Amino acid sequence: MKPRALVAWSTGKDSAFALHASRERGEVEIAGLLTTLTTGYGRVSMHGVREDVLDRQAAALGLPCRKVWIPPACVNADYERVMGEAMAAARADGITRIVFGDLFLGDVRAYRERQLAGSGIAPEFPLWASDTAALAARMVAAGLEATVVCVDPRRLPASFAGRSFDAAFLADLPEGVDPCGENGEFHTCVTGGPMFRSPVGAVPGEVVARDGFVFADVALEEATP
């Protein structure tokens, strides 16, 4: 039997393409998603994506989603505690792998490996060391559809928030910005692509500045006026 795996699901393109790559390789059985949300906001941490959009993504993927709730202004100790509990519960359910969409940040990978050490769950990095310009182009060519939902205006102009992640977006990126946003320049919400069984049906909406970042809301089509 293949090892059973969860995908660390951010709602964004890298986790979506890591899921796609893992399915293509066929070395693990993808059993579900694992997503961190912020208590009191009902949104995915960092990306700011609504919980109902996350739920629609999971349904379109045909996978259950395990939700890990963290407090606002979460400190490492709180995060590590709740994630440790989530990993213990996953291991009890027969999960032995977790798939991450990390690309090249060695300190992030090392942190994940340390946190999983001794848990009985091993990390998988199917996109690791990919050329990010080539990977971004491959995502677009594969039909991945995504909206830029969070921009760090210190690294990328705020006007990029709310744009589609497509060839025009990639062509317009300023010099020095990673095409996959791996340095935190931007985050995305995926609404279509080869990893989905059906369209997610979500559209971009209001753009707001909050806590030093610029967020573009994404809502389910039936919830918009």
State pTM to two decimals. Answer: 0.95
* DSSP sequence for the chain: -PPEEEEE--SSHHHHHHHHHHHHHTSSEEEEEEEEEETTTTEETTT--BHHHHHHHHHHHT--EEEEEE-TT--HHHHHHHHHHHHHHHHHTTEEEEE----S-HHHHHHHHHHHTTTT-EEE-TTTT--HHHHHHHHHHTT-EEEEEEE-TTTS-GGGTT-B-SHHHHHHPPTT--TT-TTSSEEEEEEESTT-SS---EEEEEEEEETTEEEEEEEEGGG--
Q: Which domains does the chain have, with CATH numbers?
A: 4-124 (3.40.50.620), 132-223 (no CATH)
Per-residue pLDDT of 14-34, as tens digits, reads: 999 999 999 999 999 999 999
Stretches where the chain sits below pLDDT 50 are: none
**What's residue 223's pLDDT?**
65
**What's residue 73's pLDDT?**
85
